[in-house]
C-alpha cells in the first residue's frame, strides 16, 4: 500500500506558532527538490545548444552527476517526512492493538539505528574525501556537496523516530531501542562473529514489520561488513559511486517526464485514441488497455504510476464494454506492468549500467520481447472479452482522427525520446532531459493541463520523492553487492554452476522461477542492483549473451509485479480500485499464466531478444 502523506488538517489544527514554521520548512524542502530537478533538465539542454557553438559547459556532466546525488538525498528526506519511504508494509496491516504498536516500535528502532550508522558511515566518507581535496569546476570542493549524504541520513533518522512511532511514548521506546542497538554494535557484549546472525535475524524481522527497504539492504551490508571487521564507510563509498554514475541522471529525468504525463489530462486523451482505434470490435478494449498501459509504463518505469493514473479510468471503460468485473480487474492489474522493456524505461537503463552493456543496444533488444508480451496480454483480453460488447459497431474514422489530433503531442513523445536517444546528437542523459522538457511543454504550455506555479512544483516534488526513495535503495543495495563481490560470492556461484549445471536451459528455467519469487518480494530496482552482479559471471560461463540475459531478467521482473503475495501491481490495484487483495490475486492468475508462457518463449528462443541488435550491428 502506498503510505499516507502528511495530513494537512493536522498542520492547520496545530497552534499557529508551531504550524507556520513547519509549513515554511516543508515548503522550502519541496521548493529545493523542484528547483534541483529543474536545473537537471535545463543543464543538459544548455549543453546541447552551446556545444553547437563552443565546447559546451565546463564539467557539465560532473555537475549533473552531483545534482542526482542532491535530488536523491532531498527526495529521501521529503519521503521520510511524508511517510513515503518504500517498504514491504504488509505485516503491519494484519496486526492490531498492542501487537501493531510493538511492530511499529521495533521496526522504527531498527530503522533509526541503521540510518544512524549510515549517517556515520557517510560522514567518515566525507572526511576522507575532504582530506583528498577533490573539487568540481570553479574550485568547488567536492566534500561540500557530499555533505548532503550524512545530513540527509541524519534528518531521515530523526524523521523515522518522529513520524513512524506516532506518540511521544512510542517515540521514547523506539529511541531507547535504537540506542540499545547502536551501543551493542559499538560495544559488542560477545564476539562479533557470534552477533552477525542474530543481527541479520532482527533486521529481517524489522523488514517484515515495515521498516523501509533501504534499511534492510543497507543494514545487511553494514552487518556483514561489521562481521568481517571492514569499515562501514565502504557502504557509503559504493552509495556515492552508484548515485553519481554518469548514466544515472537519466532515471530522475525520465521519471519527471512520466509524472508530467500522468498528472495532466494526457491519460484521457490517449485512452480516447486507443479506444477509437481498437474499442469498436469485440474484445478491442482489451487491446487498447494493453497498449495504453505499455505506453505509460515505458516512461514511468516500474513505479506503479500506471495503475494509479489509469486504473480508475480503464476499469469502468472495460466494465461498460461488458467485460466481467473479474476479467477487467485482472486485465488492468496485469497490463499495468507492460512496457518495462520499452525505451526509455528506467530498469533497462539501470541494468545496462550494472551489466556494462550499451544502453541503446539494451533498448533495441527489448523491442520484440516487449511487443510479444503486449500482444499476448491483448490476445488474452480479447479471449476474456469474447462475451463482451456485441458486434454491430463500426470503426469511426472521423472519431479516430479527432482523437489522434487531440493527442498528437502526447503521441509524439516516444518519437521525441527515441530520436533524441538514437539520433546521435544527444547522450542518453541529454535525451532524457529533452524528453522531460518536451513533456513539460506539452502539459504546461500547449494543453495547459498544469499551471506553472500552481501545479508544476507539486508534480516535480512528487517525482522527486519517488526518485529519492529509489536512489536510497540503489545506493545502499550496491553496498550489499560490494560485500558479495568482496566475499567472491559471484565467482563461487559461477564455479558451482559450472560443475552442477551443465545445461544453460536448466539454469535459465531455475532462474525464471527464482526471479519470479525474488521479484514478488523485492522492489525491482533493489533486485537489479543486488542480483544482476551475481548473474553476469554465471551467464558468461554458460555462454549466455548479456543482452539476452538482461531481457530475461527484466521480463521476469515485469512478470513479478503480478506475483503473489506482495507484487507491487497487486497492492496498487487493491488500493486504487478499492478491491480486497485476495480478489485481485484471483483475478490476475490467468493472465499471470499467459505472461509466464511469454517469459519462457523469451528465455528459450534467444532470437526474440537478439534479432534486432544483431541486425543493426
Residue 601: the pLDDT is 94
pLDDT tens digits for range 370-380: 999 999 999 99
Residue 88: the pLDDT is 65
CB 257 within 8 A of CB 436: yes
Q: What is the arithmetic mean of pLDDT over 69-76?
A: 93
**Statement: residue 77 has pLDDT above 60:** yes
Residue 169: the pLDDT is 83
pLDDT tens digits for range 201-232: 999 988 888 888 889 888 998 888 888 888 88
Residue 165: the pLDDT is 62
Domain parsing of the chain, residue ranges? 8-243, 250-616
Q: What is the arithmetic mean of pLDDT over 246-271?
A: 84
CB 380 within 8 A of CB 290: no
**Statement: residue 508 has pLDDT above 80:** yes
pLDDT tens digits for range 283-312: 788 888 889 888 888 877 665 677 877 777
Residue 555: the pLDDT is 92
pLDDT tens digits for range 534-563: 888 888 888 889 999 999 999 998 888 887
8 or 264, which is more confident: 264
Band the pLDDT of 246: cuts 50, 70, 90.
confident
CB 76 within 8 A of CB 472: yes
Q: Is 212 in a helix, a strand, or coil?
A: strand
Separation in Å, CA 546 to CA 101, 352, 540: 47, 9, 8
Contacts of 97 (CB under 8 A, 6+ apart): none
Closest CA to 149 of 214, 58, 223, 56: 214
CA–CA distance, 331 with 606 (Å, rounded to integer)? 28
Backbone conformation region of residue 427, classed left if phi is above 0, alpha if psi is from -120 to 50, else beta: beta
**Statement: residue 446 has pLDDT above 60:** yes
Closest CA to 596 of 512, 505, 507, 508: 512
Residue 392: the pLDDT is 47
Residue 475: the pLDDT is 86
CA–CA distance, 535 with 523 (Å, rounded to integer)? 18
**Statement: residue 453 has pLDDT above 50:** yes
Residue 93: the pLDDT is 58
**Statement: residue 42 has pLDDT above 90:** yes
Backbone conformation region of residue 14, classed left if phi is above 0, alpha if psi is from -120 to 50, else beta: beta
Of all residues in the chain, the percent with pLDDT exceeding 70 is 90
Residue 371: the pLDDT is 94
Closest CA to 271 of 190, 200, 322, 335: 335
Residue 389: the pLDDT is 53
Residue 4: the pLDDT is 37
- The single-letter DSSP state of residue 141 is B
pLDDT tens digits for range 260-277: 887 878 878 888 888 888
Angle (nearest 5°) at CA 306 between 426 and 39: 40
CA–CA distance, 175 with 24 (Å, rounded to integer)? 27
Mean pLDDT of the chain: 83
Backbone conformation region of residue 188, classed left if phi is above 0, alpha if psi is from -120 to 50, else beta: beta
Residue 92: the pLDDT is 59
331 or 565, which is more confident: 331
Residue 15: the pLDDT is 40
CA–CA distance, 375 with 368 (Å, rounded to integer)? 10
Closest CA to 606 of 542, 561, 528, 517: 542
**Statement: residue 16 has pLDDT above 60:** no
Q: What is the arithmetic mean of pLDDT over 245-259?
A: 86
Of all residues in the chain, the percent with pLDDT exceeding 90 is 22
Residue 19: the pLDDT is 64
**Statement: residue 163 has pLDDT above 80:** no
Amino acid at each position: 500500500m502506498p503510505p499516507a502523506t502528511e495530513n494537512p488538517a493536522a498542520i492547520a489544527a496545530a497552534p499557529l506558532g508551531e504550524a507556520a514554521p513547519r509549513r515554511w520548512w516543508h515548503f522550502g524542502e519541496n521548493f529545493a527538490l523542484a528547483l534541483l530537478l529543474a536545473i537537471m533538465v535545463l543543464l543538459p539542454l544548455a549543453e546541447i545548444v552551446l556545444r553547437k557553438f563552443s565546447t559546451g559547459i565546463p564539467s557539465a556532466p560532473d555537475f549533473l552527476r552531483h545534482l542526482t546525488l542532491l535530488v536523491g538525498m532531498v527526495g529521501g528526506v521529503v519521503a521520510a517526512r511524508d511517510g513515503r519511504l518504500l517498504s514491504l508494509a504488509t505485516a503491519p496491516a494484519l496486526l492490531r492493538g498492542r501487537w501493531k504498536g510493538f511492530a511499529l516500535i521495533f521496526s522504527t528502532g531498527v530503522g533509526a539505528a541503521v540510518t544512524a550508522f549510515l549517517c556515520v558511515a557517510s560522514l567518515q566518507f566525507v572526511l576522507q574525501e575532504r582530506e583528498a581535496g577533490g573539487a568540481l569546476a570553479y574550485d568547488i570542493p567536492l566534500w561540500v556537496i557530499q555533505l548532503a549524504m550524512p545530513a540527509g541520513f541524519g534528518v531521515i533518522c530523526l524523521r523515522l523516530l518522529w513520524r513512524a512511532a506516532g506518540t511521544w511514548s512510542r517515540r521514547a521506546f523506539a529511541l531507547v531501542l535504537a540506542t540499545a542497538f547502536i551501543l551493542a554494535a559499538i560495544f559488542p557484549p560477545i564476539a562479533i562473529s557470534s552477533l552477525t546472525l542474530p543481527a541479520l535475524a532482527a533486521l529481517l524481522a524489522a523488514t517484515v514489520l515495515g521498516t523501509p527497504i533501504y534499511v534492510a539492504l543497507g543494514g545487511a551490508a553494514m552487518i556483514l561488513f561489521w562481521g568481517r571487521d571492514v569499515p562501514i564507510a565502504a557502504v557509503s563509498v559504493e552509495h556515492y559511486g552508484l548515485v553519481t554514475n554518469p548514466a544515472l541522471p537519466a532515471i530522475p529525468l525520465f521519471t519527471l517526464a512520466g509524472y508530467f504525463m500522468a498528472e495532466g489530462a494526457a491519460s484521457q486523451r490517449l485512452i480516447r485514441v486507443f479506444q477509437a482505434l481498437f474499442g469498436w470490435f469485440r474484445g478491442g478494449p482489451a487491446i487498447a488497455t494493453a497498449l495504453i498501459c505499455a505506453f505509460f509504463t515505458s516512461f514511468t518505469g516500474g513505479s506503479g504510476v500506471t495503475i494509479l493514473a489509469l486504473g480508475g479510468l480503464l476499469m469502468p471503460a472495460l466494465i461498460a464494454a461488458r467485460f466481467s468485473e473479474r476479467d477487467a480487474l485482472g486485465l488492468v492489474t496485469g497490463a499495468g506492468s507492460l512496457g518495462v522493456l520499452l525505451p526509455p524505461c528506467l530498469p533497462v537503463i539501470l541494468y545496462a549500467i550494472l551489466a556494462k552493456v550499451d544502453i541503446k543496444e539494451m533498448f533495441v533488444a527489448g523491442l520484440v520481447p516487449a511487443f510479444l508480451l503486449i500482444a499476448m496480454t491483448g490476445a488474452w483480453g480479447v479471449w476474456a472479452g469474447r462475451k463482451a460488447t456485441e458486434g454491430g459497431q463500426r470503426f469511426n474514422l472521423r472519431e479516430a482522427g479527432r482523437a489522434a489530433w487531440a493527442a498528437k503531442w502526447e503521441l509524439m513523445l516516444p518519437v521525441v525520446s527515441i530520436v533524441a536517444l538514437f539520433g546521435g546528437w544527444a547522450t542518453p542523459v541529454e535525451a532524457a532531459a529533452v524528453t522531460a522538457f518536451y513533456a513539460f511543454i506539452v502539459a504546461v504550455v500547449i494543453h495547459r493541463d498544469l499551471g506553472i506555479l500552481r501545479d508544476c512544483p507539486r508534480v516535480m516534488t512528487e517525482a522527486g520523492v519517488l526518485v529519492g526513495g529509489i536512489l536510497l535503495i540503489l545506493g545502499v543495495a550496491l553496498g550489499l553487492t560490494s560485500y558479495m563481490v568482496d566475499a567472491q560470492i559471484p565467482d563461487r556461484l559461477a564455479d558451482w554452476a559450472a560443475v552442477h549445471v551443465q545445461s544453460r536451459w536448466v539454469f535459465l528455467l531455475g532462474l525464471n522461477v527464482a526471479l519470479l519469487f525474488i521479484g514478488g518480494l523485492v522492489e525491482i530496482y533493489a533486485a537489479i542492483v543486488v542480483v544482476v552482479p551475481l548473474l553476469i559471471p554465471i551467464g558468461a560461463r554458460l555462454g549466455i549473451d548479456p543482452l539476452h540475459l538482461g531481457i530475461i531478467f527484466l521480463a521476469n521482473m515485469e512478470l513479478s509485479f503480478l506475483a503473489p503475495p506482495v507484487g507491487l501491481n497487486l497492492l496498487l490495484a487493491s488500493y486504487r480500485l478499492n478491491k480486497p487483495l485476495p480478489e485481485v490475486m484471483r483475478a490476475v492468475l490467468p493472465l499471470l499464466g499467459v505472461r509466464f508462457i511469454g517469459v519462457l518463449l523469451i528465455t528459450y528462443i534467444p532470437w526474440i531478444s537478439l534479432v534486432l541488435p544483431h541486425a543493426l550491428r
